[in-house]
Structure formats: C-alpha cells, structure tokens
Amino acid sequence: MSEAGAARGRPTLIELFKVFLTAGAISFGGGVVAYLREYLVSANGWLEDEDFLDALEVSETLPGLNSVNMSVIVGDRMRGAIGAAVAVAGLMLPGMVIMMTLGVLWEQQRHNANVNAFLIGVAASAVGLLLTVTLQLGHKQFVRPLDMLMIAATFVAVSVCKISLGWVLLGLGPLAIWLYRPRGAVETAERFAHLRKRLHSHRAHWRH
C-alpha cells in the first residue's frame, strides 16, 4: 500500500493532517473531494491522478460517506493505516467542534421563531443542493434505460413502498450486479473520462 506514494515523495503525517484539517474546515456541501484532488494531486503531487480517481470510484461503491471513505483510502495509500486515521481525524475535527456548538445553541434556542424559520429555509435550499448533486452524479445513468429502471425501482421501494433499506439493498444489489455482469473488456479510459468530467463540474460549481 505505502510504496504507491513513495514514487513522488510522500507527505509526513503532520502535512497530511494539515491538508485534511483544511479540507474539513473550509468545505461545504460536497466540495471535499474537489479540494482534496487539488491538494493531493495537483499542488503537492503526492498521488497520481489515476490513483485518486480509482479511490473515488471505490469510495462511491463502498458504504459510508464518500468524503470519509476517500480520506481513509488516500490516507492509507500515502501513509498506511495510521495515515488513514490521521486523514479522517483532520477531516472531521473542525466540523465536529462547530456541529456540537451549533447543536448546543440550537437546544437552547429551538423555540425561537427566527431560528426555526432560518432552519426551514436552509432545509428547503438543501433540497435544491441535493438534487443538483444527484443530477451531477447521475448524469450518465439518467440517459440509460436499464439504469433508469434501477433508479426508479430503488426510489419506489424506499420512498413509496417504505421498504427498509437493508432489504432493498439485499434485493436490488445482487440483481443489479447480475444485470451488469462481465461481458467483455472494461473501458478504463472511458470510465475515468466520465469521473474527470464530473470532478471538473464539481470544481466549476464549488470553487470560489
């Protein structure tokens, strides 16, 4: 694992912590991955772009938050298991402190009409943001009939039939893997081209 990063020099644990701490402190609404790519790949050359995109693909397939999975995988690739722990700690620390502060304040102020109104506005806006993220992530899937069918089946199972998530995954997961079972060579270049394009649009939207 660790020799992958050795090619172009690897960061010390402190450097790693600083990059992830910054990402955790300044990223809002899904910008973490674009930030990490800029710092780990472009600015410092600690990771090859292919390795980064590969990690992103794995992060999105495995359970858990994409930004946290991404931190575990690239932390591990650069500095082993300790690197993974340092990366995750850095990513979460600023958010944890601010989140708890907000939580305690909210607990005291939650009957305040202005606080309530503010949070309703935020939630409504979050709906627009979530829809944007989903459309960007799924822009490739939304044009393929088979993918559309799986998307619709999943949505109906969870939101209409109210089937518990575990059963939905156990039922539809193996079915989907079987439907996409190997039937020829995998186009690696094409796979990454689509990820690159999407990251580009992330950056276009969320860098200021």
Partner 1 sequence: MHKLISLAWVFALISILAVGGGTAVLPEMQRMTVSQFHWVTDKQFRDIYSLGQVAPGPNMLMVMVIGYRVAGYAGAAIVAFAFFVPDCILTLFANRLWLRFSDSPWRHAVQRGMAPIAIGLMLSGTYAIARLSIHNAMSFAIAAATLGVLMWRRVNPVLLISAAGLAYVIFAGNALHLTVTIPHG
| 50: contact with partner 1 by CB under 8 A | no
Find the binder of partner 1 among 16, 40, 47, 73 (CB under 8 A): 73
90-109 positions binding partner 1, by CB under 8 A? 91-92, 94-96, 98-100, 102-104, 106-107
Q: How long is the chain? A: 208
Residues 120, 12: Cα–Cα separation, whole Å = 43
Find the binder of partner 1 among 125, 193, 197, 200 (CB under 8 A): 125
How many other CB atoms sit within 10 Å of the CB of residue 200? 11
Find the binder of partner 1 among 7, 43, 82, 126 (CB under 8 A): 126
State the minimum distance, in angstroms, from the CB of residue 193 to partner 1: 15
- Do 60 and 66 touch, CB atoms closer than 8 A? yes
Phi, psi of 183 (to 5 degrees): -140, 35
State the minimum distance, in angstroms, from the CB of residue 87 to partner 1: 10
- Do 194 and 140 touch, CB atoms closer than 8 A? yes
Find the binder of partner 1 among 63, 111, 189, 190 (CB under 8 A): 63
| 13: contact with partner 1 by CB under 8 A | no
Q: In a 3-state reduction of DSSP, which class is residue 10?
A: coil
Residues 203, 74: Cα–Cα separation, whole Å = 19
Q: Residue 14 or residue 190: which is nearer to partner 1 going by CB? A: 190
